[in-house]
Amino acid sequence: MLKHEYMPVSQDQPIYSEAPLHLLLFVDGRPKSRQQVQRIRAYLKELQAEYSFELEIIDVGQQPYLAEHFKLVATPALIKIHPEPRQVLAGSNIIAQLKNWWPRWQIAVDAYLKLQEDLQERVEENSRATSPKSTIASVAVSAELIRLSDEIFSLKQEKDKLQEQLQFKDRVIAMLAHDLRNPLTAAAIAIETLQSNYNLDTGEFVRLKPAMTVHLLKQARSQTKTIDRMITDLLHVGRGNDTELPIIPQKVELGKICLDVLEELRDRYTAKSQNIDTDIPKDLPCVYADPERIRQVLMNLLDNAIKYTPEGGKISIAGLHRTTQKVQFSIGDSGPGIPVENCDRIFENHFRLQRDEGTEGYGIGLCLCQRIIRSHYGQIWVDTAPYGGAWFHFTLPVYPS
């Protein structure tokens, strides 16, 4: 808060409109600086007997934007703002600096007053710009402008955040309509098949072997769990990257999960006559991971590979015992690939390649994949394949033997 202290020439005559020398003293609430500030203020009061000046006390805790305006890095600080040029005294020896500069400031003020006398007409036309009052006003205006600019910046951030949330909502609606269709269709087919073959009178399934009945029931349950997990993941991503992603790590055969996911996606890649090339060593170590979460990663990456690989194209899957502590898994496609300049941004929340604005894929799923892999203390990245397309790689910790 600004506090005006008028240094009078006499007891009953303030010098607010008379004093050409204008000083600002910036203070803070720290107990250890209190004594220093008291000494500075006491010394300034001693100077009033020989020279009139105006002093403003500014608490940086209440008006930090003024400290920013004058680019202060420490307090207390004493600033001469009028007459120009501006000068800042700071540090632990402000009084010593003031003793050194005080005679020079007097000379500068005398020169300023002489200039005022010589240019009376010009001073009268521009009195508001040259008087100490105008100096005070300019400081107040600058402080208000800084405060308003901070508010505008905050409002702009709020606006950008709200716009991002609205865009995310639209994306979620579109993705729910698309990504949930496959598990919903699979679950519906399994349930309808069971229903159509169930005899209410006998309480048995007709024309269905026990093994097929078990398979369909398992399929329906698996797909409903997939739908539930997808909705949960969408909610996690929607809440931002600060939300904790719960995982339950255990001993996992990464190759087996991958083959299970491929089996679920068989209809999709066979419909496009795509070739699947797998190179998963039989001695690939087990990893320490959450099987459901890793299944989600593989489902996202393989889904994108199928989506972006053209008909008759090739999808490659490879496992590598990279180090004694890490296993690397890679999924490549022969699609359009990822531009080099976007290889890092592709994992950002809500990021979309410009070419994909009107299509699904390479969106929220990759952001989720990154969060899952990082929650396992692994890494995920993308490279451009030598023959075209994209190679997605991720690492997971080896299960301790």
Residue 296 CB neighbour total at 10 angstroms: 21
pLDDT digits (tens, 9 = 90+) for 59-118: 888 888 787 778 887 889 999 888 888 889 988 889 999 998 988 888 888 887 777 777
Residue 309 DSSP code: S
Written in H, E and C, the secondary structure of 121-189 is HHHHHCHHHHCHHHHHHHHHHHHHHHHHHHHHHHHHHHHHHHHHHHHHHHHHHHHHHHHCHHHHHHHHH
Nearest to 113 by CA among 178, 51, 27: 51
Beta strands in 28-141 (DSSP E): 54-59, 77-82, 87-90
Does this chain's domain 2-150 share its CATH topology with 250-397?
Answer: no
pLDDT digits (tens, 9 = 90+) for 123-176: 555 555 555 555 555 566 666 666 777 778 778 888 888 887 777 667 666 666
pLDDT of residue 351: 54
Helix (H) or strand (E) holding 226: helix 210-238
Kindly report whether the global pTM for this prediction surpasses the value 0.95: no
Backbone angles phi, psi at 119, to 5 degrees: -120, 50
| 328: amino acid identity, one letter | Q
> Which is it for strands 275-279 and 314-320: parallel, antiparallel or unpaired?
parallel
The CATH architecture annotation of domain 2-150 reads 3-Layer(aba) Sandwich (3.40)
Burial 139-168 (b: 16+ CB within 10 A, else e): beeebeebeeeeeeeeeeeeeeeeeeeeeb
The CATH architecture annotation of domain 250-397 reads 2-Layer Sandwich (3.30)
pLDDT digits (tens, 9 = 90+) for 363-384: 567 888 888 999 999 999 998 8
| CA–CA dist 331, 119 (Å, integer) | 81
pLDDT digits (tens, 9 = 90+) for 16-73: 345 688 899 999 888 888 888 989 999 998 887 788 888 888 888 888 878 777 888 7
| CA–CA dist 71, 34 (Å, integer) | 22
| CA–CA dist 139, 58 (Å, integer) | 12
Q: Which residues pair with 198 in a beta bridge?
A: 205
Helix (H) or strand (E) holding 203: none
CA 272 from centroid of its chain's CA atoms: 39
Instruction: Give the chain's mean pLDDT.
Output: 79
**Does residue 10 carry a pLDDT above 90?**
no
| 46: amino acid identity, one letter | E
Q: HSE on the CB side for 311, CA within 13 Å?
A: 2
Backbone angles phi, psi at 340, to 5 degrees: -55, -40
Q: Is the peptide bond before 20 cis (omega within 30 degrees of 0)?
A: no
Q: HSE on the CB side for 150, CA within 13 Å?
A: 11
Give the pLDDT mean for 347-366.
Answer: 56
Residues in Cβ contact with 85 at an 8 Å cutoff, skipping those fewer than 6 apart: none
| CA–CA dist 397, 401 (Å, integer) | 12
> Which is it for strands 22-27 and 54-59: parallel, antiparallel or unpaired?
parallel
Q: Which of 229-243, 316-330, 348-362 is least confident? A: 348-362
Q: Which residues pair with 74 in a beta bridge?
A: none
Parse the chain into domains and list their residue ranges. 2-150, 180-238, 250-397
Residue 4 DSSP code: E
Give the pLDDT mean for 322-331.
Answer: 89
Q: What is the dihedral of CA 78, 83, 85, 87, to 10 degrees?
A: -10
pLDDT of residue 343: 76
CB 46 within 8 A of CB 6: no
Q: Which residue has the higher pLDDT, 176 or 254?
A: 254
> Which is it for strands 275-279 and 87-90: parallel, antiparallel or unpaired?
unpaired
